Amino acid sequence: MSTTRPSRLHRAVLLDSARGRWRVVDLDQRWVDHGDLTAALGVERAWKCGTPRWETDDRVVHLLVPGEGQSLPEDGWSRDPAEAGFDQATVDWLVATYDAWRTGRVVVTGQPWWSAAWAGEVAAWLDEVLPAVGLRRVAEPVPTKLWSLSAVLRVPVAGADGERDLWFKATCEWFRAEPSLTAVVAGLAPDLTPDVVAVDPGRAWMLLEELTDADAEPAHLAGATATGMARLQLAADRAELVHAGVEERSLSGLADELHRALHDSVLRDRFSPQQWTEWAEVEPWVVEQIEALDAIGLPTALNHGDLHLGNIAGDTSPVVFDWTDACLTHPYLDARHLAAERPDAEHATRVWAAWSEPWRAAYPELDHERAWALTPAVETAFQVATYERIFRAQDPDSRSDLAAVVPWLHARLRAARDAAGDG
């Protein structure tokens, strides 16, 4: 019998409101991105109208509308979405979601991109800020990612050096400090961070230069990333970071955050009581690890918060992007997150050696090896707490986007305990 995890059925729905017709395409894969949806529907540029409807854990419906002036496929259309096998509740959702998008009615606070008018507001801002840097927009922005946490658009521009793409990002209310923080970090470490073209802190918008090989997940740059991040941690001015909106998340508060995530999660009803009981069983041991790491005495420092290879771009030198989870916490949590990206020991050894060298020089009296040995459980507990924060900031209908990570993180906590030979 196969033990392969089943796939997931994503139903992409394109509404051509001008002709009153619908096009439905099914994608049988676990995860989809915006490009998967538009490619399947046969359009280059389309806007999602709202957060997906999760009919079940393995059946998701996405509603999109074509961008202005977008050519459409000739075939595969129907006059009634019910013809595609949708039940009445989903048909009602499709109609209501489009109506909210068309009229600009805010369905989810802090996610204004689920609105036809929002695209116009972004275009107007782009046309305002681009001339100041010698650029002009040459086409409509192209949506590349629209979900509960952010909206990312590709912006074709032209200047004295010819045409190129910039990248626009808007963040949800929970991550609204990211544009200001990205600008601050870019000032501290310009070679390690994206080039910021413009920022609107009030609307949590930013415009960035295109990143080289942003989808490459460059493992060969892990060592250089580790060195650059460690040096940034030691050089960054705490007061400037706090002013930019960086939160202090010291280890002294992590045990309480973990307890809330294990015993009072907003996803409590999504998983069985037995699962929560099993997950909480590891808590006392994890708290011991947190307290032991805190007692070693390293100060909090700037952490990216989600430093995996997918958030690193570049060919010969790294650029770290997507600073949404940035905070002040233990300096080695980012190091452990990056080290755990690949299963081979050589990768982890390379990351640790590069990251720890500047910190050993700055704090030679402390036990850095002991600190590193404690990070597997503590960094995973940190991620458990982070996701609980995100879930609480999301509206309930948006939580399914990330809910699958919960069992995986709790399994990692148990694995860390078992690997340590305790409990």
Both tokens of 362, joined, read: 């700055």
Cα–Cα distance measured from residue 26 to residue 21, given in angstroms and rounded to the nearest whole number: 17
Work out how many domains the chain is built from and give that number.
Answer: 3
Verify that 230 and 348 share a domain, yes or no: yes
Stronger pLDDT, 104 or 121, i.e. the higher one: 121
What would the pLDDT profile of 37-82 be if each residue is shown by its tens digit? Answer: 999 999 999 999 998 999 887 899 999 999 988 899 999 999 998 8
pLDDT digits (tens, 9 = 90+) for 24-37: 999 998 889 999 99
In a domain, 2, yes or no: no
Average pLDDT over residues 392-399: 82
Rounded CA gap, 345 and 296, in Å?
25
Tell whether 390 is covered by a domain. yes
Shared-domain flag, residues 51 and 131: no
Indicate if the pLDDT at residue 308 is higher than 50: yes
Count the alpha carbons within 13 Å of 73 in the hemisphere toward its beta carbon. 19
Q: Which tokens belong to 317?
A: 């030198």
- Shared domain for 202 and 240, answered yes or no, is no
Q: What are the tokens at 140?
A: 């409509």
Distance, in Å, from the CA atom of 102 to the CA atom of 15, rounded to the nearest integer, reads 12
Whether 110 maps to a domain, the answer reads no
pTM recorded for the entire structure: 0.87
Stronger pLDDT, 416 or 4, i.e. the higher one: 416
DSSP 267: T
Average pLDDT, the chain: 92
Token output for 144:
């590349």
Residue 377: the pLDDT is 97
Reported as a single tens digit per residue, the pLDDT across 352-393 is: 999 999 999 999 999 999 999 999 999 999 999 999 999 998
Question: Per-residue pLDDT for 4 more than 60?
Answer: no
Alpha-carbon distance of 11 to 29, in angstroms, equals: 11
Last residue of one domain, picked from the residues 179, 209, 239: 209
Average pLDDT over residues 265-276: 95
pLDDT at 422: 54
Q: Which of 103, 124, 148 marks a domain boundary?
A: 103
Residue where one domain finishes, among candidates 209, 244, 277? 209
Decide if pLDDT at 90 tops 60: yes
Question: Looking at the structure, do residues 401 and 301 belong to the same domain, yes or no?
Answer: yes
**H-type helices in 42-115, by residue range?**
88-103
Together in a domain, 88 and 149 = no
**Two tokens at 110?**
């802090």
Q: Provide CB contacts within 8 A for 68, sequence distance 6+.
A: 140
Answer yes or no: do 368 and 250 share one domain. Answer: yes
> Where residue 2 falls among pLDDT bands split at 50, 70, 90?
very low
384 token code pair: 């458990």
Give the mean model confidence (pLDDT) for residues 391-406. Answer: 85
Has residue 301 got a pLDDT over 50?
Answer: yes
Residue 196 has pLDDT above 60, yes or no: yes
Q: Does a structural domain hold residue 3?
A: no
- Is the model's pLDDT at 295 over the cut of 60? yes
Average confidence (pLDDT) over 191-209? 93
Residues 180 and 226 in one domain: no
**CB-neighbour burial class of residue 364 (10 A; exposed 0-12, middle 13-18, buried 19+):** exposed
pLDDT tier at 1, thresholds 50, 70, 90: very low
Q: Cβ distance 192 to 318 under 8 Å?
A: yes
What percent of the chain shows pLDDT beyond 90? 75
Q: For the chain, what percent of residues have pLDDT higher than 70?
A: 97
Q: What is the pLDDT of residue 68?
A: 87
Calculate the alpha carbon distances from 361 to 228, 231, 329, 355 in Å: 15, 11, 19, 11
Q: Which of 2-6, 15-19, 143-147, 232-236 has the lowest mean pLDDT?
A: 2-6
Q: How far is CA 118 from the centre of its chain?
A: 21
Same-domain check for residues 256 and 354: yes
Q: What is the pLDDT of residue 27?
A: 94
pLDDT band at 396 (very low <50, low <70, confident <90, very high): confident
SS3 state at 158: strand
Closest C-alpha among 147, 184, 166, 169 to residue 395: 147
Would residue 263 count as lying in a domain? yes
What integer pLDDT is reported at residue 252 of this predicted model?
Answer: 93
Section 277-301 average pLDDT: 97
Residue 261's pLDDT is: 97
Are 188 and 328 in the same domain? no
Residues 233 and 350 in one domain: yes
Instruction: Answer whether residue 1 is part of any domain.
Output: no
Owner of token pair 């909210």 = 100
Residues 268 and 357 in one domain: yes
